[in-house]
Amino acid sequence: MKRFFLSLILVLFPVLAVAQIALSPQDSDKPVEITADSLKVVQADKVAVFEGNVEAIQGNINLKSNRMTVYYRGGDSTAPKGAKDAKKKAAAPASGMSPGGSNSVSKILVEGNVFLKTAGETAQSEKGLYDVEKALVTLEQNVVLTKEKNVLKGNKLVYEMKTGKSQLFGGSSGGQGGRVKGLFIPDKGMKH
């Protein structure tokens, strides 16, 4: 029985780390390229809204959604550097949109078919929020975390980037009757 629990812990630990690895700033020094069907900037509110087939790529991290709203702060009322009104394709480099820039990002909201992919891991949900100031990432509504063949499902994931702590919660719209669900496939090479 002890071996079973040890095996479960050895399999569970990497899967629980999916959120931490997938949402960590491992490529934070690389440029960010954002493409979308349209971009609307409301300078007075310090908001940039990317809509339609939104894709943000930074190193090996790829984030897709239907809509991405970037909230920024700064001393003036200009949009993040590189953000302009667009009707076809929009692209915004990371400069000026990163903490410490002239118009640094305070939070990013992604909505609709949210899909985050890194090398070997994916995270999916209907909604996500990255609060830069609090270093807090929240994914909500039908959250699915995948690493290799291991899968975790729930309704809400909260990841504290400063501490590395992550929590997955069930809920009424989690698709599991309000419970967290995990599927863990043991490594065939693991001794029992």
Task: Tell me, rounded to whole angstroms, the distance of Cα 186 from its chain centroid.
Answer: 27
How far is the C-alpha of 185 from the C-alpha of 138, rounded, in Å? Answer: 26
Judge whether 192 lies within some domain.
no
Judge whether 125 lies within some domain.
yes
pLDDT grade, residue 27 (50/70/90)?
A: low
User: What's the CATH number where 65 sits?
Assistant: 2.60.450.10
pLDDT grade, residue 144 (50/70/90)?
A: very high
Judge whether 134 lies within some domain.
yes
How far is the C-alpha of 70 from the C-alpha of 190, rounded, in Å? Answer: 44
pLDDT tens digit string along 38-58? Answer: 999 998 999 999 999 999 998
Per-residue pLDDT, 178:
83
pLDDT grade, residue 101 (50/70/90)?
A: very low
Per-residue pLDDT, 58:
86
Residue 144 DSSP SS3: strand
162 burial level (CB within 10 Å; 0-12, 13-18, 19+): exposed
Judge whether 19 lies within some domain.
yes
pLDDT grade, residue 25 (50/70/90)?
A: low
pTM (predicted TM-score):
0.69
The answer to whether residues 114 and 145 touch, using CB atoms and an 8 Å cutoff, is: no
How far is the C-alpha of 99 from the C-alpha of 85, rounded, in Å? Answer: 22
Number of domains in the chain: 1
Judge whether 168 lies within some domain.
yes
Judge whether 191 lies within some domain.
no
How far is the C-alpha of 110 from the C-alpha of 114, rounded, in Å? Answer: 7
Q: Which residues does 72 contact at the CB level (< 8 Å), separation at least 6? A: 46, 47, 48, 79, 80, 97, 103, 104, 105, 106
Judge whether 188 lies within some domain.
no
Structural domain for 168, as ranges: 2-183
Tokens representing 8 are 């479960």
pLDDT tens digit string along 146-181? Answer: 998 999 999 999 988 888 888 999 976 545 568 999
Judge whether 190 lies within some domain.
no
pLDDT grade, residue 26 (50/70/90)?
A: low
Bridge partners (DSSP) listed for residue 56: 34, 63
